[in-house]
Amino acid sequence: MAAEQELLSTEIVNRGIESSGPDAGSMTFSVRVRRRLPDFLQSVKMKYVRLGYHYLINHGIYLATIPVLVLVFGAEFGSLTREEMWSKIWNITAFYDLATILAFFGVFVFTLSVYFMSRPRSIYLLDFACFKPQDDLKVSKHQFIELARNSGKFDEASIEFQKKILHSSGIGDETYVPKAIMSSENCTTMKEGRAEASTVIFGALDELFEKTRIRPKDVGILVVNCSIFNPTPSISAMVINHYKMRGNILSFNLGGMGCSAGIIALDLARDMLQANPNNYAVVVSTEMVGYNWYPGKDRSMLIPNCFFRMGCSAVLLSNRRRDFTRAKYRLEHIVRTHKGADDRSFRSVYQEEDDQRYKGLRISRDIVEIGAEAIKTNITTLGPLVLPISEQLLFFATLVRKYLFGGGSGTKTQSSKPYIPDYKLAFEHFCIHAASKTVLDELQRNLELSEKNMEPSRMTLYRFGNTSSSSIWYELAYLEANERVRRGDRIWQLAYGSGFKCNSAVWKSMRRIRKPSRNPWL
């Protein structure tokens, strides 16, 4: 993977000290648009393939016994007529005494009971809601630049930089931002943060409770994730106070975990539902745009201003078996990849203060290489869990050929590249985190996805911008609004963010999804 390849749409290059002119003695920067992501066709690591199979074996070892039982039964009884089969069974039972038969039967029933009691409970998604702000919060790209200029917080060079970023971002002219960020006053205050949090979170939850007809007091588990804004009392406490939830609710507040935190919150909710039967869990994913607003001049910290927009999602999960008939989706897999042990990954998206003491997110120049490696690792680990056997055999055949015949030095030929499985055979729908147009372009190229596969992500980026951890739910809402989800369809949600982390969630549709009455796309 070359450093020139790209995960975000721009790279900030330090050009040194300006030697002359009005900016003499100051640091100068230029923006270089990178063209490609690191190619997933290269350097597939076997340890991540093994990790995927290790996960599969730990969670589905019982599947291996089914072919054995079928073969044994077929070999023993396959060629017999019905009369011969009953005669053989009678001879077997006659060979043993009644006590032995009853003992064997008791052991069989006990083993079967232990299996069904110890197997993980199915986690169902009953419904979800995505917040749609009021129309007076809409801004076009031109309005965004003019409001930024009129706020007096940016010099002309910073304005032009943000204009270039917006031009290539893939963001449309109907995204939403808080009014406070365009005023001349400081918008990164606790008051403004709480106001924005109340607006987006309570808006999403009101819609969720209305759609599901679940009372807030019925919720036993609450997980809220918001990366930047983490007040005291926590946002989860704000929700409990607003809806007067019950006193023994299990509440969690995740902070600082970036755009992939929505799936991390899902994973936590799943674990809590496994440990607490007959329960409902609500997962809220959001980000506070105003509290994360950067008013300085550091270009590597101006990039988040251009991409992040208002948004929030609220998801209702259940582990009650009787909810099988009313559920929309069943959770199949969650695969998490964390590269935080590496120092470069840890600092790739880093919150800090600039020289003027303004707080913001600094985007590292290494984000390209780091992000692509995390995505590739996650996809490689996920493959054995979801891909059909035919694709896995082709993948392994090319890997073996590479390690046996293509491991030496020299020019790599096309035939030495590992076979990249066709993930379109594993999923009918793709909800890839809408970070930027360039990211989506390169993921489409590397995974060989069609325009229809990428449409939910592109439309979400265009209509709502990068809403951080909630973006994958706006994409699923897009699929539902267009009535594309049918019974048995598999949906892949892929999110990545600071840390550096990349996480996947796989859902299976329980029924055909009709156009909902409440949806941000309607």
Catalytic residues: 259, 338, 429, 433, 466
Contact (Cβ atoms closer than 8 angstroms) between residue 245 and residue 239: yes
Contact (Cβ atoms closer than 8 angstroms) between residue 328 and residue 125: yes
Going by the DSSP 8-state scheme, the letter that residue 40 receives in this structure is T
- φ and ψ at 284, to 5 degrees? -115, 125
How far is it, in rounded angstroms, from Cα 140 to Cα 365?
A: 28
Burial of 346 (0-12, 13-18, 19+ CB in 10 A): middle
How far is it, in rounded angstroms, from Cα 272 to Cα 285?
A: 17
In 3D space, the residue among 272, 280, 274 whose CA is nearest the CA of residue 252 turns out to be 272
Strands 280-286 and 329-338: unpaired
* Token output for 45: 């690591």
| Neighbouring C-beta atoms of residue 133, cutoff 10 Å | 21
Q: Which amino acid is at 416?
A: S
In 3D space, the residue among 256, 253, 245, 252 whose CA is nearest the CA of residue 273 turns out to be 252
**What burial letters (b/e) apply to 430-449, b meaning 16+ CB within 10 Å?**
bbbbbbbbbbbbbbbebbeb
Burial of 62 (0-12, 13-18, 19+ CB in 10 A): exposed
Coil/strand/helix, residue 506: strand
How far is it, in rounded angstroms, from Cα 146 to Cα 185?
A: 16
- CB neighbour list of residue 215: distance below 8 Å, 6 or more residues apart: 209
Using omega within 30 degrees of 0 as the cis cutoff, is the peptide bond preceding 233 cis? Answer: yes
Using omega within 30 degrees of 0 as the cis cutoff, is the peptide bond preceding 110 cis? Answer: no
